């Protein structure tokens, strides 16, 4: 009976299509109109709900946090709008919040101490965050710092890797659990003190940058690991991405100021954070010389210091014109008075981009040029 009824229904549909085309077109138009109306209602609903939030919300990197906070304060003072709310959640945590969706319950911008990853871009797209604007705001030097009261230290990338990797090659090139307890165990020229390095957790963009700029480069300089890279790239990647968990590396959270305080309290400890935090605490801390180069503004800007990295903000274009002031906030961020070598962000420790690059980025930011799949790795 059911099959017969279904067949009869299909015959009826065919009859309508053949003998009553106007009726079918009318139904189709009504359906299309209803769909368009629902979509329009969604946009209106977002706009109406968003109007209840008249303050920009920003999340993300602890490294970029002080720079974005400075721009937010300047924006508020200028009368362009309410001072934006800036939260330090770490780059990875910020990306999760940013990519979770569109609407007033989701942040408008996120700070990042590395570029957006392919997987994060795909999460954004999946959750309806379609139009993302990437803005490179400056350069940072990822530093290893210590108390001014501690022993002056010069390190190579290889020595940093040997101090902090979960596994290292033995004299025969076989991977073993890291046996080094003191810095002098790695090289007799290094201080005879316990290895203790305070650094960011896996959710931090600073942690990602540290892996790529220090750990991977250090691993490449060890003959046994260079050979492993040729034979098995995935195995090599696992080695430099794995930090030891037996005490010498201490995850100190997303707040870099906590690391600064702990370095003050322990003259034999070392900490990993962005150059701006070292710059703000030069009365208490000093930077470790890496590969013969000390971290300072000029060495980072010129590229001589190998721990240099770009810093970014990401803007949710779908919120522009809905959450008040986003476009004006971006204009303030990329202005010469903020981003230039003589700007107020440089006084906060941000290393300025070359003028030609900064001008190009400012123009792209003002036009809200969106990120595409081919732009992300």
Query: Is it the case that residue 102 has pLDDT exceeding 70?
Result: yes
Query: Is it the case that residue 6 has pLDDT exceeding 70?
Result: no
Contacts of residue 147, defined as CB under 8 A and 6 or more positions apart, other chains included, come to 263, 264, 266, 267, 269, 284, 285, 286
Average pLDDT of the segment spanning 290-296: 96
Contacts of residue 40, defined as CB under 8 A and 6 or more positions apart, other chains included, come to none
∠ CA 144-116-330, nearest 5°, is 95
> Residue 21 has which token pair?
């085309």
Residue scoring higher pLDDT (151 or 2)? 151
Is there a contact between 299 and 226 (Cβ–Cβ < 8 Å)? no
- The Cα 240–Cα 201 span in angstroms is 16
Residue scoring higher pLDDT (302 or 134)? 134
Q: How confident is the model at residue 224 (pLDDT cuts 50, 70, 90)?
A: very high
Query: Is it the case that residue 7 has pLDDT exceeding 80?
Result: no
Q: Residue 192 CB: number of other CB atoms within 10 A?
A: 10
- The Cα 359–Cα 351 span in angstroms is 15
What pLDDT does 257 receive? 83
Query: Is it the case that residue 376 has pLDDT exceeding 60?
Result: yes
pLDDT tens-digit series, residues 342-365: 999 998 889 999 999 999 999 999
What's 212's DSSP letter? I
Average pLDDT of the segment spanning 57-80: 95
Distances (CA, A) of 98 to 112, 126, 295, 310: 11, 12, 32, 20
- Whose CA is closest to 314, among 147, 175, 115, 149? 115
pLDDT tens-digit series, residues 149-171: 999 999 999 999 999 999 999 99
Query: Is it the case that residue 233 has pLDDT exceeding 90?
Result: yes
* 3-state secondary structure (DSSP) of residue 348: helix
Strands (E), 22-131: 57-60, 85-86, 109-112
For residue 114, the Cα-to-chain-centroid distance in whole angstroms is 4
Query: Is it the case that residue 12 has pLDDT exceeding 90?
Result: no
> Residue 225 has which token pair?
């690991």
Q: How confident is the model at residue 377 (pLDDT cuts 50, 70, 90)?
A: confident
Burial class of residue 357, CB neighbours in 10 A (0-12, 13-18, 19+): exposed
pTM of the shown model: 0.75
- The Cα 50–Cα 56 span in angstroms is 11
Mean per-residue pLDDT of the chain: 88
Query: Is it the case that residue 133 has pLDDT exceeding 60?
Result: yes
Query: Is it the case that residue 25 has pLDDT exceeding 70?
Result: no
What pLDDT does 41 receive? 46
Query: Is it the case that residue 253 has pLDDT exceeding 70?
Result: yes
Q: How confident is the model at residue 203 (pLDDT cuts 50, 70, 90)?
A: confident
Indicate the length of the chain as a whole number.
Answer: 377
**Domain spans in the chain, listed from the N-terminal domain onward:** 57-138+313-375, 141-309
What are the residues facing 227 on neighbouring strands?
none
57-138+313-375: CATH architecture: 3-Layer(aba) Sandwich (3.40)
57-138+313-375 shares its CATH topology with 141-309: yes
Query: Is it the case that residue 69 has pLDDT exceeding 60?
Result: yes
Superfamily of domain 141-309: Periplasmic binding protein-like II (3.40.190.10)
What pLDDT does 204 receive? 87
């Amino acid at each position: 009976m059911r099959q017969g009824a279904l067949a009869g229904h299909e015959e009826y549909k065919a009859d309508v299509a053949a003998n009553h085309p106007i009726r079918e077109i009318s139904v189709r138009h009504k359906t299309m109109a209803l769909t368009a109306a629902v979509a329009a209602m969604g946009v209106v609903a977002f706009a109406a709900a968003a109007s209840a939030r008249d303050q920009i919300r920003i999340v993300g990197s602890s490294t970029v946090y002080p720079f974005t906070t400075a721009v937010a304060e300047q924006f508020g003072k200028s009368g362009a709008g309410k001072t934006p709310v800036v939260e330090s959640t770490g780059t990875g945590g910020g990306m999760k919040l940013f990519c979770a969706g569109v609407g007033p319950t989701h942040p408008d911008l996120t700070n990042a101490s590395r570029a957006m990853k392919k997987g994060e871009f795909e999460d954004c797209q999946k959750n309806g965050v379609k139009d993302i604007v990437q803005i490179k705001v400056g350069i940072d030097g990822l530093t290893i710092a210590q108390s001014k009261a501690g022993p002056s230290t010069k390190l190579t990338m290889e020595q940093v890797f040997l101090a902090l990797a979960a596994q290292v090659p033995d004299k025969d090139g076989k991977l073993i659990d890291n046996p080094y307890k003191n810095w002098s165990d790695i090289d007799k020229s290094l201080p005879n003190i316990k290895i203790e390095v305070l650094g960011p957790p896996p959710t931090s963009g600073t942690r990602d940058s540290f892996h790529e700029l220090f750990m991977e480069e250090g691993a490449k300089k060890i003959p046994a690991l260079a050979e492993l890279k040729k034979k098995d790239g995935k195995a090599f990647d696992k080695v430099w991405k794995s930090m030891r968990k037996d005490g010498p590396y201490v995850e100190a959270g997303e707040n870099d100021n906590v690391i600064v305080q702990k370095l003050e309290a322990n003259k034999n400890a070392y900490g990993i954070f962005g150059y701006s935090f070292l710059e703000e605490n030069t009365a208490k801390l000093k930077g470790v010389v890496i590969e013969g180069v000390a971290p300072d503004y000029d060495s980072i800007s010129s590229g001589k210091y190998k721990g240099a990295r770009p810093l970014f903000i990401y803007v949710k274009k779908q919120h522009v014109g809905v959450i008040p002031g986003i476009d004006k906030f971006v204009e303030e961020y990329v202005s010469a008075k903020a981003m230039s070598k003589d700007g107020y962000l440089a006084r906060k420790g941000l290393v300025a981009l070359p003028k030609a690059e900064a001008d190009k980025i400012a123009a792209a930011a003002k036009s809200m040029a969106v990120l595409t799949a081919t732009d992300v790795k």
